[in-house]
Amino acid sequence: EIDAGLVLGPYAGHTSSRITTMGDPVLTGILGWDNGPFHWNVTTMINVPAGHYRQGSMANIAFHRWGADVSVAGTWYDPAVGWDISGVTGVTFNGSNPKTNYRPGTEWHLEAAVSRDIGGPGTTLGAIGYYHQQITDDSGDGAVLGGFRGRTAALGLTASHASKWGNTPIQARVKVLREFDTRNRVRGTAAYLTLS
């Protein structure tokens, strides 16, 4: 659900949009290596424009366009020391939405995390952050604002706990990030809960 208000001097407006639907599926391939405390991987993700998309709706969760992200990640984690230092960088290539004739530009992203085991192995607390920069212009007839290159940075905290459910390993992770240095993008605070 999106609920937005706008105030321009004496004029004010309000709009909202709500939808319950399926977004685009994302196909993922990962190739990884490790050597002692060092771990690396190369990941490719492909967005398939098969989700429900309503032109003109603010609450779309489907992009309705092809897209691909290629990234390289590395981690150093030594259980004896208890520190985990991780980073990933990648490039996202965006296709055109045929309903809007809008093609977002290519994007570069960098994410990093530093965390420490607390209270024994399996429970961590740490700092996280990311930087996102659009490196080519938006294009197509729908790009009425021109190139409109966006960027943002964020810093935050993360905590996780790993255990077993019977013989199955499980992990819960919470992330909270506050964005800053934002241009041509919505800025805010994001919170995530992941279970794996």
SS3 content of the chain, % helix, strand, coil (to 5): 0, 65, 35
Q: What is the pTM of this model?
A: 0.81
Please give the biggest Cα pair distance in the chain.
Answer: 63
3-state secondary structure 59-82: CCCCCCCCEEEEEEEEEEEECCCC
d(CA 142, CA 72): 32
pLDDT in tens, the chain (196 residues): 454 555 555 666 666 666 677 889 999 999 999 999 999 999 999 999 998 888 777 677 788 899 999 999 999 998 888 999 999 999 999 999 998 899 999 999 999 999 999 977 789 999 999 999 999 999 998 888 889 999 999 999 999 999 998 999 999 999 999 999 999 988 899 999 999 9
